[in-house]
Amino acid sequence: MPLLPLSDRAIQYDTRGEGAPVVLAHPLGFSSAIWEGITLPDHLRVASYDLRGAPMGALVRDAEALMDALGLRDAVFVGAGLGGLVAQGLAVKRMDLVRGLVLMNTAARVPATSAWRAAQTTATDMAPLIEPIIARSFAPAARRSAPADRARAMLSSCDPAVYAAGAAAIEGTDFYTTTATLTLPTLVMTGADDAITPPDLARETADLIVGSEFRLLRGSGHYPALDAPLPLSEALSAFLARIGH
């Protein structure tokens, strides 16, 4: 993946295709590799990038810098988990960059958990955190599935310092008031088995945004890009078609 060098950091990203831009921002503990199973229409320019461990304001500035550098204006920004919070902050700050949102397994504010707090204070190894994350991200019957094992592998490769910083960013963010000012086309999705951002929490966020759509992915948990890639791809493609993107 190429690097975008900035004055104080570098952003690792990937872009493919030409046309209307779509930007993908991944959940906490993962990288842009989580999107590998997602299929979107060929007429799009799809960009994905790796979020660093930083406060929310810095993560929003990273998204700005990447999109400005690559000329990605009037994009649909797809954010999952932590990436969904970045999406909300960016949409409020830079309406010239974002014409539509897809908020996946996220909320305007996400209640802190003991696992996040432990990560912020004691995480020097991801291993003790992985099974608690899996338990809240997948239904019991799915915790020994191939998607869950892929989640374990990806989480195990995460730098614990990056995870800790991302957890702190989530806990320190409350976009309830600002997200309620958004009026752009928005699709809010979550998995029926997601215990990290449960359906009621995601639906509450959808209710903040005038005209937004809410979609519940049955048979999916916190990582639909892993456990429901085909329904997710279909839902994304249908939303993009509906808004003429």
* Three-class HEC string of the chain: CCEEECCCCEEEEEEECCCEEEEEECCCCCCHHHHCCCCCCCCEEEEEECCCCCCHHHHHHHHHHHHHHHCCCCEEEEEECHHHHHHHHHHHHCCCCEEEEEEECCCCCCCCCHHHHHHHHHCCCCHHHHHHHHHHHCCHHHCCCHHHHHHHHHHHCCCHHHHHHHHHHHHCCCCHHHHCCCCCCEEEEEECCCCCCCHHHHHHHHHHCCCCEEEEECCCCCCHHHHCHHHHHHHHHHHHHHCCC
Q: Which tens digit of pLDDT belongs to each residue from 185-233? A: 999 999 999 999 999 999 999 999 999 999 999 999 999 999 999 999 9
Domains contained in the chain, number: 1
Q: Which tens digit of pLDDT belongs to each residue from 87-130? A: 999 999 999 999 999 999 999 999 877 666 666 666 678 988 89
pLDDT on residue 118: 66
pTM, two decimals, is 0.96
The residue-averaged pLDDT of 31-56 equals 97
User: Which structural domain, as residue segments, surrounds residue 70?
Assistant: 3-242
Q: What is the CATH number of the domain that holds 43?
A: 3.40.50.1820
